[in-house]
Amino acid sequence: MTQVLTSEQVEVAADGAALYELSLEGRWGDGVPILAATDERILAMLAATPYAADHVIGALPPQYGVATVELAAVNAVMAGCEPAAFPFLLAAIEAILTPEWNAFGLTTTTSSVFPMLIVNGPSRDDLQIDYRAGCMGGAGGRGSMTIGRALALCLRNIGGQRAGETSRCVFGQPARLGMCFGEWEERSPWPSLARRRGFRAEQDVVTAHGGKGTFPMADINNDDPRDLLHLIAKSLAFPLSNMFLGGTGENGEVVLAINPIWADRFAAAFPAVESLQEYLWEHAWQPIDVWPAGNQEILRSKSRVDDDGRVSLVRRPDQIVPIVCGGLGSLHAIALPSFGESQMQSAAVDRGTG
């Protein structure tokens, strides 16, 4: 396919520092050095997809800029993506543009929330999408570091998201520079996240979760799976979670990243992931008297308090989403708390090969 590029062009000296300065001045960078989006590099991105440069993926909030494949490719190049990773960016955009993901709400809110990308499928190693030690930061795989960053640049440069302006975020979070990691499917005793969401094992799949941050949990004192899961469930249900703020608790998922050692331990007690989710759900609550009177009134008005005075974090077990990743050091789990009014979305990576 012959591609015709139509993006606005700027001239800059062939010097990385000059381009970096220009990106800061023009506010189309993210504060970190970028690569030059030359025609040659953009065309290499386009060659990795079945789409024409002017194919419209959708309108990206908050300002609803039209995201064409060419504009996505420009941002992918700037982020440092390799062409083989570009279809993962397109899948991520497709996922966050699903209405139930609530992209406008998530890109404009005061919350720190941002798309966190979880990748399943056979290309994780080839693209250096981290799923082992340091997968949520520090491992430094190219795929992990650039796919998430490319999505963040798309939201900035196509969607017009700017902290303190179109985005009213109070703090933001490190993941706003981009967050993308894989699931260690080979070490998971349960079906992968993508399989549970209806995809085939041979498909590469990107799942976008509107995550508020990384919430660390640790235990060195107890090896019993039920005891550990009880403590995890109680930790997930922290009183100032968004899930208790004002909604009904029917929307949104809390992702629970479990290290492979703990996953083996939990699977001995809960061979089916559904039974694990059920157990977590049964314990992810707080007594109503944890909250002061004013908060109690709101929770009661939302029918969040059951007959035993318990306030459950979420309405259904499937809203607690376990995944397996991380290093073999054991001892730790990470939760990715939900924004609440956003439902996780997945999209298969489309390379046009059927």
Partner 1 sequence: MNVDDVEAAVEEMGALLRLDGAELTVLEANPKTARIEVALDMTGVECEDCVMPPEMLEQMISDAVARRVRGEFELVLRDPRRGGVPS
Residues of the shown chain interacting with partner 1 in the complex, contacts defined by CB under 8 A: 132-133, 186-187, 260-261, 327-329
- CB closer to partner 1 out of 3 and 330: 330
In the complex with partner 1, the residue whose CB is nearer, 96 or 135, is 135
Closest distance to partner 1 from the beta carbon of 130 (Å): 12
Give the nearest distance from C-beta 239 to partner 1 in angstroms.
36
Q: Which is nearer to partner 1, 165 or 186 (CB)?
A: 186
Q: String of b and e for 90-103 (b: at least 16 CB within 10 Å)?
A: bbbbbbbbbeebbb
Q: Dihedrals φ, ψ of 239, to 5°?
A: -60, -30
Shortest distance, position 199 Cβ to partner 1, whole Å: 19
Between 123 and 319, CB nearer to partner 1: 123
Q: Write out the two tokens for 271.
A: 């061979």
Closest contact distance (angstroms) between CB of 217 and partner 1 is 20
Q: How far is the CB of 125 from partner 1 (least distance, A)?
A: 9
The CA-based angle 342-348-350, given to 5 degrees, is 130
For the CB of residue 189, give the shortest distance to partner 1 in the complex, in Å. Answer: 11
Q: Is 142 or 315 the residue whose CB approaches partner 1 more closely?
A: 142
Q: Which is nearer to partner 1, 26 or 329 (CB)?
A: 329
